[in-house]
Amino acid sequence: MISTLMGRTSVRPLFLAALLPLFIAGCSLPKVTEHTHDHGHDHDHGHEHGEEEESSVTLWTDQLEGHVEFGHLDAGTPQEFTLHITRLDSGLPVDAGDAVLQWKKESDGSTLDVRVPAVRPGNYKTTVTFPAPGHWDLTVKLSLADGEVQLIFPDLDIHDHGHTDGPDAVHDHAHDQEEGHDHDHDHGEDHDHDHDHGDDSDHVHADGTVYASSEDVPGNAIFFSKEQQWVLPLVTAQAFRGGLVERYRIPATVQETPHSRAALTAPLSGRLLPPEGGSFPGIGEEVEEGQVLAGVLPTLQGGEALARESNIHSLQGQRTELAVQAAQARGDAERARALVQQHASALDRAERLQVAKAGSQREVEEQRSALASAQALLREAEQTEAQVRKALAALPTLESREEEGVAAWIRSPITGRITRLAAGPGTQVDGGQMLIEVVNADEVLIEGQVPEVLAPALSRPLHACYELPAFPGELFEMEAPEGEREPWLQPQVKEESRTVPLIFYTRNQEERLRIGMTLTLLADGKKEEDALQIPHSALVDENGIPTVYVMLTGEHFQKRPIRTGISDGVMTEVLDGLQEGDRVVVRGAYAVRLAGLAGGGVGSAHVH
């Protein structure tokens, strides 16, 4: 239960009667952490109404952080509230439009409702006047893109300083006096704020949300405003318990498997030709297993070369002669067709004249004989033309003669991509010369170099993931191809490096890995079943001492040296210095460190 006590916000204990002797002795309420902090300065707890002492309450849910700031809360006078709402996953302010703030009094259920527009994303300010003292719960309602959310800040203690009269005022005033807190006079004594950090259950709601008040802030806390945090942005995470596997960082390289690269060579000396009916392949082109990529025409020497050249000239002469004959036969056929047409017309005229008794039978017979002769000439010309065309078509081309001399086709033995071409079509190549390289990187081999002292510490069976320089902190699992051997730690130590090769086969369907690439293997070692752990990114090296910055409230942090245990590269075990539920800075820790070095403590300027 949160109450405003002597101008500051504190946690009201569940067993108040047991704590009365502490108040009589001049001690403050127990604080909700597990470390003892001596503020080392005097506190004047007198509250004159012209003096405002700022308090704050911070609440964390699974998704959001709510931070409310206010002065000494009195009934009957305007009270200013400043609210900051932050997304825990990104550290950025929410963009939710208006917020609905409702204060509800515990004793009679009376409420105050205010709709507050955002001053800027995540930042709200409003002023309310409480009609009566007592314990009021503040509920903040927001409409986010992923649904409606609400934050509940319980038990804000509104005091009566003579501004209101009535049963509630009398009750709460008497309640304060029973607890030994007279707010109208100066205590005039030093208070040693030793914090008994025992049970912190008062800081946990039934729904699992966690809250803290500015009363929990020790004197050496570092102030870092919400506006500064949002610029970074600053991100925090809670320490929690769970299983953790130690992982060793091992340098490694990506290599091809024995069957993932093929170098195609010329089977004999000759001239390189493209595949039959296709084009010569290019770099980057995908090829299939068994696909013909090129051919080699053997090089002819001495008499064979002269005979081949003579054959080529003879072939060219025959082609020319047949082409001339074909043209002549085509002309003869055209002339014969014209003559047939002429005699057919003359025969038709002679027959019409005979019917009209103007012509003789002899003229008709002469035209029929002439037409038959012309038709015979046409048939002869067409036959000659057809024979010449057939002979020309049967004559082999120069290209077909070259293909008859190809001794071997070059085929790809694997499916993959062409990564190298050493020669192009028409190039004279020597037997055994490397011509084409094909690589398939769908499956690769990762080889790490394990220092010999770590080899016995690796888990059995062997397991590891890898981290790429381009994605620090992001771990990728390996998937062994079907039929490949299990991960293997070689039995011998390399003499020159004193390391043991560790080999993993893995699929590479997303083409994330490139042959020859360097990366880091994170090989499994021992496992802790119930380790208190925090993100590794929270650690700051302070002269060799691992240190974290703990968020105490929304704007206050504490530097905390810790002792670490095992780590998997992402999470690190904490052996001492933190408790489960402590919230540490995982992004922006160095900015908080600089604020602490600059003297940004609790008394730092705070302007919103």
Q: List C-alpha distances in Å: 527 to 191, 264, 458, 530, 597.
A: 47, 48, 11, 9, 37
Domain extent listing, the chain: 2-219, 238-255+442-597, 258-298+408-439, 302-403
Helical H runs in 113-268? 167-178, 226-231
Structural tokens at position 385: 């033309």
Q: Dump pLDDT digits (tens) for 529-587.
A: 999 999 999 999 999 999 999 999 999 999 999 999 999 988 999 999 999 999 999 99
CATH class of 2-219: mainly beta
Q: Distance (Å, rounded) from C-alpha 483 to C-alpha 490?
A: 19
Q: How far apart are the first and last CA of the chain?
A: 27
Residue 111, CB half-sphere, CA atoms under 13 Å: how many?
A: 8
For residue 12, the 8-state DSSP code is P
User: Do 470 and 496 contact (CB within 8 A), yes or no?
Assistant: no
Q: Distance (Å, rounded) from C-alpha 323 to C-alpha 15?
A: 119
Q: Dump pLDDT digits (tens) for 108-141.
A: 989 999 999 999 999 999 999 999 999 999 999 9
| Class of residue 262 by CB neighbours under 10 A (exposed 0-12, middle 13-18, buried 19+) | middle
- Residue 174 has a pLDDT of 37
Q: How many other CB atoms sit within 10 Å of the CB of residue 512?
A: 16
Mean pLDDT, the chain cut into blocks of 10 residues (608 residues total):
32 31 31 35 40 80 95 92 96 94 92 95 95 94 91 92 47 40 39 40 55 78 96 97 96 92 90 86 93 85 56 72 82 85 84 80 81 82 79 63 61 94 90 93 95 93 94 90 85 95 94 94 95 97 96 96 94 97 97 87 44
Q: Distance (Å, rounded) from C-alpha 67 to C-alpha 84?
A: 5
Q: Dump pLDDT digits (tens) for 215-236.
A: 778 888 999 999 999 999 999 9
- Residue 603 has a pLDDT of 40
Same fold, 2-219 and 258-298+408-439: no
**Does the domain at residues 258-298+408-439 carry the CATH identifier 2.40.50.100?**
yes
**573-578, Cβ contacts within 8 angstroms, sequence gap of 24 or more:** 573/244, 573/528, 573/531, 573/532, 573/533, 574/239, 574/532, 574/533, 574/534, 575/532, 577/548, 578/239, 578/532, 578/534, 578/548, 578/550
Buried b / exposed e along 286-302 (16+ C-beta atoms within 10 A)? ebeeebbbbbbbbbeee
- Residue 234 has a pLDDT of 98
Q: Distance (Å, rounded) from C-alpha 602 to C-alpha 590?
A: 18
Q: Distance (Å, rounded) from C-alpha 534 to C-alpha 586?
A: 9
- Residue 306 has a pLDDT of 57
> Which one-letter amino acid corresponds to residue 60?
W
Torsion of Cα atoms, 368 then 372 then 378 then 383, to 10°: 160
Q: Distance (Å, rounded) from C-alpha 443 to C-alpha 399?
A: 41
**Which DSSP helix (H) or strand (E) runs through 81?**
strand 78-87
CATH number of 238-255+442-597: 2.40.30.170
